[in-house]
Amino acid sequence: MNQKIARFFEERRPQTPCLVLDLDIVEQNYNALETALPDARIFYAVKANPAAEVLSLLTRLGSAFDTASVPEIQMVLATGCPAERISYGNTIKKEADIRRAYELGVRLFAFDSEPELEKIARAAPGARVFCRILTSGEGAEWPLSRKFGCDLDMARELLLKAKDMNVQPYGVSFHVGSQQKDLKQWDLAISQVAQLFRELEAVGVELGMINLGGGFPTRYRSDVPASAAYGQSIFDSLRRHFGNRIPETIVEPGRGMVGSAGVIESEVVLVSRKSANDSKRWVYLDIGKFGGLAETMDEAIQYPIEVLAEEMGEESFDPETEAVVLAGPTCDSADVLYEKAEYKMPLALKAGDRVRIHATGAYTTTYSAVCFNGFAPLQQYCI
Ligand SMILES: *Cc1c(COP(=O)(O)O)cnc(C)c1O
């Protein structure tokens, strides 16, 4: 357990549920990625955790930013980050928003279809554009496939078309899926991109950039490869497929930058059984799917959860544990966190006890509902 975060909880006793984010860990994660991929430019995926403190820290460290909307662009600009360090990476944008981003100084835009490319050419004349290709999302715990990207034939056709439009065909992007633990997935995508680069070069389009996306993991209940392993594997792949003509590279870490920096504290609201001989107790927390833990959908992301023994009182504490179903506090039956995944909690657990949900720095505050059932959005403290 992170001592700085533990001390904050003990001294401040904040109301639950809340997320405490350690900015030192964000800085460590940034440095580790930079060391692992020394030639790649880091574009932090703002959606993972857009807290002003996180964005300011990363601006100071020299990071660039992957954004998905005008408000995200404005949040980044508010930290003093120059617009040249911002990419508008969403492939689904209103033309008015493209124009607004362009007015704000953004010159790098993603697309994966012809109508989107046309919008960019009209609203952001002269901008650099990159085409996102489809990936399978295989091996990822939170795949992003299908919705984003186009196939290689279409990408080639569109980048060729872009040459004769009012934009600069600049590169290709992909995302191997979030929480990607299979290093080979980058190699598969990089080999396809290299092929695309060669085919386009043959018809007079010289691309300069490959955007390797996000996917760098956070350690949840099981180990993940270290940043260095990702860096080595990606570098080897670039060498293999591009030889000594490796283009400029970009990475867009979201989860890998902030996931491990956060801990949520939550209070047990109720422990109950559905029948006298129910084999599993139901443990209802004051946070659920609608309070920020949306990534428990299909039990995809399994956070490590720690019961605070000292909270339970010396006498009543029984170390014996038993399987539980974990659920949130709202009146929606979809608000169950884990039923199939095995989570065990002490038999002595009761309402009022506290639990800590670890590795929750990414994709929690932004996924929290505004006021479902009257519950306030997830509070965050950056320390
Ligand atoms: C969400 C997103 C990311 C970040 O992905 P992680 O798996 O969290 O690193 C990067 N790039 C794009 C385009 C995204 O949509």
Domains of the chain: residue spans and CATH: 23-258 (3.20.20.10), 260-382 (2.40.37.10)
43 CA from centroid of ligand 1 (Å): 10
Atom of ligand 1 at shortest distance to CA of 90?
13
pLDDT at site 114: 98
pLDDT at site 139: 81
Q: Is the beta carbon of 335 within 6 A of some atom in ligand 1?
A: no
Determine phi and psi for 274, rounding to 5 degrees.
-90, -15
Which residues, in sequence order, are bridge partners of residue 265?
18, 356
Structure-token pair, residue 114 = 């012809």
Catalytic residues: 331
Are 306 and 296 in contact by the 8 Å Cβ rule? The answer is no
Nearest Cα residue to 324 out of 312, 309, 303, 341? 341
pLDDT tens column, 30-76: 999 999 999 999 999 999 999 999 999 999 999 999 999 999 999 99
pLDDT tens column, 181-205: 999 999 999 999 999 999 999 999 9
pLDDT tens column, 252-295: 999 999 999 999 999 999 999 999 999 999 999 999 999 999 99
Structure-token pair, residue 326 = 């974990």
Which residue's alpha carbon is nearest to atom 13 within ligand 1? 89
Q: What share of the chain is helix, strand, coil (3-state, %, to 5)?
A: 35, 25, 40
How far is residue 134's CA from residue 136's CA, in Å, rounded to a whole number? 7
Q: Is the beta carbon of 89 within 6 A of some atom in ligand 1?
A: yes
369 CA from centroid of ligand 1 (Å): 21
295 CA from centroid of ligand 1 (Å): 14
Mean predicted confidence (pLDDT) in 244-249: 96
